[in-house]
Structure 1
Amino acid sequence: MACKSIITIGRQYGSGGREIGQKLAEAFGIKCYDNELLDRAAKESGICQELFENHDEKPTNSFLYSLVMDTYSMGYASSALSGMPINHKVFLAQFNAIKDIAKEGPCVMVGRCADYALEAFPNHISVFIYGDLDTRIHRIAKRHEWSASKARDAITKTDKQRASYYNYYTSKKWGDISSYDLCVNSSVLGIDGTVDLIKKFVEEKEERKIPRHLSE
């Protein structure tokens, strides 16, 4: 059965969310957008791509920083945005790119508040991937050849940034079960098992044609 849904994935650092998203997209034969979201937003907005990378899921509240960095924005065209801090311009450009991509058809999107941007889309399914801390520490330490202590610190810092970014720009709370259609502990079934679980969830929801407001 061909996938008809836009699947968004929020994730704790080290939970395998990116890999799960990529494998899920491959299983359905659809595209997966992760860093590609930043590329698309930069291209469509005319804002320097480096700014998207610098602001990626990292809220910047400093007015001075935004004022200085605004000189590098390459003048995001809309006059309505001319007085807006660059971090807000970057978020809005990314927000619009996410909606444009969703209109093109079924896909998987990882992070970047995509679930919030697409909450009004009837064919949207939001997923949050989390994991046991020890499992996440092991995965990050192995990936980067770090000590367990350094991996733990990186997990704490990255999760805090992601939560702050999500909570700052949306009306929901990062990682709160009420914010998503499905929350899965990837430590229980592993990467491939989690992919299979999400795939079955999507297929079941599509087969039953359950409206989003009844599945939440």
Structure 2
Amino acid sequence: MNNTTSSIITIGREYGSAGRQIGQEVARYFGIKCYDKELLEHAANDSGICKELFENHDEKPTNSFLYSLVMDTYSFGYSSAGFTDMPMNHKVFLAQFEAIKKLAAEGPCVMVGRCADYALADNKDCFSVFVHADLDWRINRIAGKYNKTPKEAKDMITKTDKSRASYYNYYTNKKWGAAAGYSLCVDSGVLGIEGAAQAIINTIHIFDDLKK
């Protein structure tokens, strides 16, 4: 097997499942870039919207209309018809959406989260992955990584997953984590981080061969 791919790999992930780390390992194997929070920087640069606003809205469900109006005061950039009148959370999503499509057009890469699978749904080179794991496994991992109690870790997981699911479901009209919406679902709790990365790599090789 050669270590090249023609695919854009998107990774959705439950909090604590090591989706980002797995994405980085897959990118390292293929010698391609991995975009996680870097997507926010690209979107901010391209749109002219302040980077802090992208961080505030990052994979979070729709905020209240009042909050959107307040944040709208700080926006600038896109001047196309209709864009100026959008709530800030919609502007941020649209700018991110465009940044994802632009980066994908530059060539193979790994993109973590941010509805990238939805943004690239019409791209024949897109291979979408969802990484999940047993809750106890994720609690142990987060508690150890951030020096939290099991209860604190569970609260972090519950809150983050709820936020990611609300964000994804709202903008895509799909169901976050539902197997039918992805090319591959991987259980990092069963396979381990390296095993999950290898499973994705092996499947990408098959996907690339089928495209030839």
TM range (shorter): over 0.9
The answer to whether the 8 Å contact 1:8/1:127 transfers is yes
Partner of 2:54: 52
Q: CA RMSD in A?
A: 1.0
For 2:86, which of 70, 73, 84 is the aligned residue? 84
**Equivalent residues in 2 for 1:47-196, closer than 5 Å:** 47-196=49-198
The answer to whether the 8 Å contact 2:8/2:127 transfers is yes
Aligned residues, how many? 210
Deviation, structure 1 residue 95: 0.2
TM value normalised by structure 2: 0.97
Deviation, structure 1 residue 75: 4.2
The answer to whether the 8 Å contact 2:59/2:168 transfers is yes
1:152 partner letter: K
What are the Cα deviations for residues 37-71 of structure 1, in whole angstroms up to 9, with x where unaligned? 00000000000000000000002231100000001
Q: Structure 2 CA distance, aligned partners of 1:115 and 1:18?
A: 15
Deviation, structure 1 residue 76: 3.0
Deviation, structure 1 residue 103: 0.2
Partner of 1:31: 33
What are the Cα deviations for residues 88-116 of structure 1, in whole angstroms up to 9, with x where unaligned? 00000000000000000000000000000
Q: Structure 2 CA distance, aligned partners of 1:137 and 1:76?
A: 41
1:86 partner letter: M
Name which of structure 1's ranges 150-159 and 69-78 shifts more when overlaid on structure 2.
Answer: 69-78
Q: Structure 2 CA distance, aligned partners of 1:9 and 1:77?
A: 31
Stretches of structure 1 that go unaligned for 5 or more consecutive residues are: 211-216
2:19 partner letter: G
Q: Structure 2 CA distance, aligned partners of 1:82 and 1:186?
A: 42
Change in CA separation of 1:75 and 1:29 when aligned onto 2, cut-off 3 Å: closer
Q: Structure 1 CA distance, aligned partners of 2:152 and 2:78?
A: 38
Q: Secondary structure at the match of 2:127?
A: strand
Deviation, structure 1 residue 121: 0.1
The answer to whether the 8 Å contact 2:47/2:77 transfers is no
Deviation, structure 1 residue 209: 2.0
Query: Structure 1 stretches (4+) deviating beyond 6 angstroms?
Result: none
Q: Secondary structure at the match of 1:191?
A: helix
The answer to whether the 8 Å contact 2:13/2:131 transfers is yes
Partner of 2:200: 198
Q: Structure 1 CA distance, aligned partners of 2:173 and 2:208?
A: 27
Stretches of structure 2 that go unaligned for 5 or more consecutive residues are: none
What are the Cα deviations for residues 113-163 of structure 1, in whole angstroms up to 9, with x where unaligned? 000000100000000000011110011111110000000011000000000
The answer to whether the 8 Å contact 1:38/1:52 transfers is yes
Deviation, structure 1 residue 170: 0.4
Q: Structure 2 CA distance, aligned partners of 1:162 and 1:21?
A: 17
